[in-house]
Structure 1
Amino acid sequence: MTGEPAKPAKGRWSDLALRVASGLVLAGVGLGAVWAGGWVFITFVAVLTGIIVWELAAMLAPERPGFALQMGAMSGLASYCAIWGPPAAVIPTLLVPVVVGYITLPDQRRLFVPFLVVIQLAAFGMTSVRDEFGFVWMLWLVCVVAGTDIAGYFAGRIIGGPKLWPRLSPKKTWAGSSAGWIVALIVGVIFMRVTGAGPWLPVLSLITSVASQAGDLAQSAIKRRAGVKDSGGLLPGHGGLFDRFDGMVVASVLVLAVMETTGYPPGP
């Protein structure tokens, strides 16, 4: 009798060590690329983009592995070239794989094309934030998104409670989402004090956290539509890269839009 209650707890945290180990490796590589900047970070984002698009295409068209690889390679190359070209060529370059996907995947284009547009814009957004605003603000974005994800994971497992949107994601709870928002606000306050960015930064951090969670839910909808648990198997304990960067994809697009329209946050 005394051993029975321990089983759920073991199952609840059985993947924690593996998640932490692979997460630390990914964080180390990612932060190293963010710190290096320049072509190193641009190449990192391009490879990341290619793998994410490959996973997305493989989920929506599992019977066409060659198509998934081609779309991944094309998207990664487009995101790499867009940052180097003139401003007028950015959108046409990013849209090349989008047009190809629209033509070659007619059965799933209503899902594939919007996601591909967001992923391509996110790649440009991440490189733009690092290139134009510097290491500190790319680090802020990473901290907001990662903090939201980590806080949501632990609060959801420990507190539990009502589900956020069980039809899309049966594991996500209001407790986890709220914890993510709180951590994002804390990150915003810390960076506001360190950088002197002003009181709008915690607000932007909170909105970015909400955008990150929206990306997570949208990706969960894709997985449910495809009938898969994870987007891939590249990250032990996490699934695919799309599983880990779904929030960053949408958050990056939001920050890019704010950055281009308002010039906020302040540059380096």
Structure 2
Amino acid sequence: MNTSDTKWSDLAVRMGSAAVMVIVGLAGVAIGGHPFNLLVALVCGLSVWELVRMLDPQKPAVALQLALLSGTALLVSAYLPAGWALPILLAPMMVGFGQLSHHRTIFMSYAVLVQLAGYGIMSLRGDLGFGWMLWLIVVVVVTDVVGYFAGRMIGGPKFWPRVSPKKTWSGTATGWIGAAIVGWITAILTGATGELIGISIAISMASQMGDIAESAIKRHTGVKDSSRLIPGHGGVLDRFDGMMGASVFLLIVGQIIGFPPGLV
């Protein structure tokens, strides 16, 4: 098998899994409400399960308990005022700190981001509706897909080879361009100002930061994938780390800049 064949050997499996995720994800976003919140809670609970398994693999029961606790806390928080939701969101992290034997600081820091990401996604869908949730998803997906293909076709210098050996500067920068195009088209369709283009690029960067953060945890713990739940993609964290970074970023800066720009 030549180098070119090896480079694209996982493409069919990745595309098949991606198609299933797109169908399930779009259905959840379109329906909204309770089914969407339940889907988000499930994804975040599985993410916490994978995180604990990476950080403290000798405690599978604790991983399951924290996953259930985190997913339940996130689902409950969706139906509470924000002031009451916040301590409930953070409570599982405090429990996990007392349960784990290794990497407790990493667990607390990253699991908080998982919970805030889930809360931000549910808030975006509930407050702004299907269209803006779809915009966020498309920005993240385009960043990932364009970066994947551009990085393999163009190649060039690596972004951070010690942590993410496959990520290139060409794929990273091309992802920003793709996000900018998504922002430009969305601004035209919605009447938002041109600032949405800059926000889309920043969202793209935040999604890449989420990916890099998860890659750093995997390198630190010596694992290749967060799990094997998704054929061709690894685990839930491997697939949704970018969405988590983007969601947390939007949750924070949305309070500063007024989102959507020109429409609030």
Other-structure match for 2:35: 40
1:146 and 2:127 matched: no
Other-structure match for 1:115: 110
Correspondences of 1:156-171 after superposition (within 5 Å): 156-171=151-166
Within 1, Cα distance between the matches of 2:253 and 2:128?
12
Other-structure match for 1:100: 95
Aligned length: 263
Match of 1:52 among 30, 47, 56: 47
Give 3-state SS (helix, strand or coil) of 2:165's partner: strand
Correspondences of 1:54-69 after superposition (within 5 Å): 54-69=49-64
Other-structure match for 2:171: 176
Within 2, Cα distance between the matches of 1:25 and 1:49?
18
1:238 and 2:228 matched: no
Within 2, Cα distance between the matches of 1:152 and 1:262?
27
1:222 and 2:217 matched: yes
1:264 and 2:259 matched: yes
**Structure 2, unpaired ranges of 5+:** none
Q: Is the 8 A contact 2:56 2:101 kept in 1?
A: no
Displacement after TM superposition at 1:226 (Å): 1.2
Within 2, Cα distance between the matches of 1:9 and 1:81?
48
**Equivalent residue letter for 1:26:** M
Q: Is the 8 A contact 2:160 2:167 kept in 1?
A: yes
Displacement after TM superposition at 1:103 (Å): 1.7
Q: Is the 8 A contact 2:53 2:63 kept in 1?
A: yes
CA offsets, 1:71-92, max 9 Å, x none? 1111100110001012221111
Q: Is the 8 A contact 2:125 2:132 kept in 1?
A: yes
CA offsets, 1:214-264, max 9 Å, x none? 010110000011111111101110000100000111110111112233431
TM-score (norm 1): 0.95
Q: State the identity %.
A: 50
1:131 and 2:126 matched: yes
Other-structure match for 1:3: none
Displacement after TM superposition at 1:209 (Å): 0.4
CA offsets, 1:50-81, max 9 Å, x none? 00110011011111111111111111001100
Displacement after TM superposition at 1:265 (Å): 1.1
Give 3-state SS (helix, strand or coil) of 2:34's partner: helix
Within 2, Cα distance between the matches of 1:239 and 1:53?
15
1:196 and 2:196 matched: no
Within 2, Cα distance between the matches of 1:122 and 1:192?
24
TM-score (norm 2): 0.97
Give 3-state SS (helix, strand or coil) of 1:128's partner: helix
Moved over 4 A (4+): none
Within 2, Cα distance between the matches of 1:253 and 1:82?
16
Within 1, Cα distance between the matches of 2:101 and 2:86?
22
Other-structure match for 2:14: 19
